[in-house]
Amino acid sequence: MLYLTYSKTMAESLATNATRFIFREFVVDVLFFPAWWYGKGFIRVGRFTLTRIAEFTNRSRWSPKVWFQNIFVPMYGDYSRSGRAISFAVRAVVALALTVVLVVAVVAYLALFILYLVLPIAVVYFLLHEIFNLPWPVVA
């Protein structure tokens, strides 16, 4: 009797484990992958994008921020009038050029992020289009 109870418990436990595994691997990971994609995945990728943009803006050698902050500070410690004037001009040009670089970088990062957001929708739409013949965009 005792042995039977043991077997029953064991069988139950085996079944629970199997159910859990199937649920985790096939239901959560495969069928409901968009739930993760737009839930935890969204937070992760979003955070990653923000960190990269923040690093680029604040710490990178390509950041225009430090150039704007020091726009009136003469370069190379040249405090003469001409030095100041030249510095201002150079700083302004470099700052503007780096701003363009920054904008490009931010746009690129955002584009990647948007791609992340759009990808599942596009793929699912593509699949549905193949199955149900949904309308398909045509570029002239």
Partner 1 sequence: MTQASQSYRIITCPTCTTGVEPCPGCQNRRAALWVMGRFFVWDKHVDRWHIAEERLQRGMHLALNALLLTIGLGGLGVLVWRLSVDAPTVDTSSVLGFLGQRSLAHLGIAISFVADLIIISRFIKARQNRTLVVPRDSDLLAVPAPDLSWPDVLHQQARFENVSRAFLDVTERAIEGAWMFAERFHHKEVEPLHLFAALFALHDTQVVFGRLGVSSKSLSDRVTRALARLETADHPPRVGVACTSTLLRAYLEALLVSKPVVDIPELIVAVGSDAVVAEILADLAVDDTKLRNVVAWISMSQGRTRSYQKWRRQARFRSKGGMNRAFTAIATPMLDQFSHDLTQLARTGSLNHCIGRDQQFEELFRVFESGRANPLLVGLPGVGKSSIVDGLAYRMVADDVPTVLQDKRLVSLSVASLAGNAGRQGELEQRFTIILNEVARSGNIVLFIDNIQNLMGLTTEGGSKLDLAEMLAQSLGHQNFLCIATTNPADEHRYVEQSSLQSVLQRVPVNEVDTNGAIQIVEGKVGPVEYKEGVLFSYDAIEKAVTLSQRYIHDRYLPEKAVSLTEEAAVYVRKTRGKGGLVTGEDVGAIVSERTSIPVTQVTEAETEKLLHLEDKIHERVVGQDEAVKAVSSALRRARAELRDAKRPIANFLFLGPTGVGKTELAKAVAEVYFGNEKSMIRLDMSEYQVQSSLGRLIGTPGGDGGFLTEAVRKNPFTLLLLDELEKAHPDILNVFLQVMDDGRLTDSTGRTIDFTNVILIATSNAGTSTIQAGILANETLENIKQRLVSQELAKYFRPEFLNRFDGIIVFKPLDFEQVIAITKLMLGQLGGILKEKGVHLRVSDAAVMELAQKGFDPQFGARPLRRALQEHVDNALANALLTGQLARRDIAVLEPGGVVRVEKAKEV
Q: How far is the CB of 3 from partner 1 (least distance, A)?
A: 8
44 and 116 Cβ atoms separated by less than 8 Å = no
Q: How far is the CB of 98 from partner 1 (least distance, A)?
A: 11
> By CB under 8 A, which span of 22-30, 98-106, 107-115 interacts with partner 1?
22-30
> By CB under 8 A, which span of 21-29, 96-104, 105-113 interacts with partner 1?
21-29
Which DSSP string do the residues of 71-109 spell out, in sequence order? TTSPGGG--SHHHHHHHHHHHHHHHHHHHHHHHHHHHHH
Measured in whole angstroms, how far is the alpha carbon of residue 4 from the centre of its chain? Answer: 54
What x/- string results for residues 42 through 81 when contact with partner 1 is judged by CB under 8 A? --x----------x---xxx-x--xx-xx--xxxxxx---
CA angle 23, 25, 27 (to 5 degrees): 50
| Region class of 72: left (phi > 0), else alpha (psi between -120 and 50), else beta | alpha
Write out the residues near partner 1 by the rule CB under 8 A: 2-3, 5-6, 9-10, 13-14, 17-18, 21, 25-26, 29-30, 33, 36-37, 41, 44, 55, 59-61, 63, 66-67, 69-70, 73-78, 119-120, 123-124, 126-127, 129-131, 133, 136-140
